[in-house]
Amino acid sequence: MSSTTMNDILGQLGTVADGLSEETVKACAEKIDAHSRVFVYGAGRSGLMLRALAMRLMQMGKCAYVVGETVTPSVEEGDLLILASASGKTHSVCHYAEVAKNCGVDLMIITAKKEQVSSAAENVAGSPLTAIAPADVQFSVPDKDSGTGSGQVMGSLFEQSLLLFGDSLVQHLAVDPQRMRKNHANLE
């Protein structure tokens, strides 16, 4: 078993960032900005990274919710649901994508599963998630179950990339530090 140092991880994250265009980040930030209510969902550690994004959006004054929390309202047409699944196969993520789509909710899909396009006469093969809606973001990271990993455990590189991507989105949105400070938790 090899040891992955912080510098190795930073190098891997730099490679992922280099593979993501600034236009993609900007388009996703604009998609968030265009919606008055934003919901997020991911399973496991991906969900934790999206919770961090929801917290920043709330601090910015955006109406943001985490799916599954007791105070999360029902989604409505015109809302945005941000979903993350590295494999694009996570059952709960796919289920929520389908339900939200049927409710007229806009989706932002973040995944690591690349769609494979063969000839024009054949269908586009992808993940169950990208069959529901096309991916807005696809990180170039190894599958957590493949033998060609990053040297990190399971899907760590995807999750780290997701956290940094969320912070990049916030930087592209109109940030008002005073408003963020006012909305920051004070029951600490």
| Active-site amino acid positions | 159
Cβ-count burial of 4 within 10 angstroms (0-12 exposed, 13-18 middle, 19+ buried)? Answer: middle
Q: Please, what's the b/e burial string for 28-58 (b: 16 or more CB within 10 A of its CB; e: otherwise)?
A: bbebbbebebbbbbbbebbbebbbebbbbbb
Structural tokens at position 114? 């690349």
Residues 6+ apart with CB under 8 A from 50: 40, 41, 42, 66, 82, 84, 162, 166
Q: Which residue, 41, 90, 92, is CA-closest to 64?
A: 41
Q: In 3D, which of 111, 125, 95, 117 has the Cα closest to residue 158? A: 111
Measure Cα distances from 56 to 52, 78, 95, 170, 179 in Å.
6, 21, 26, 7, 11
Residues counted in the chain: 188
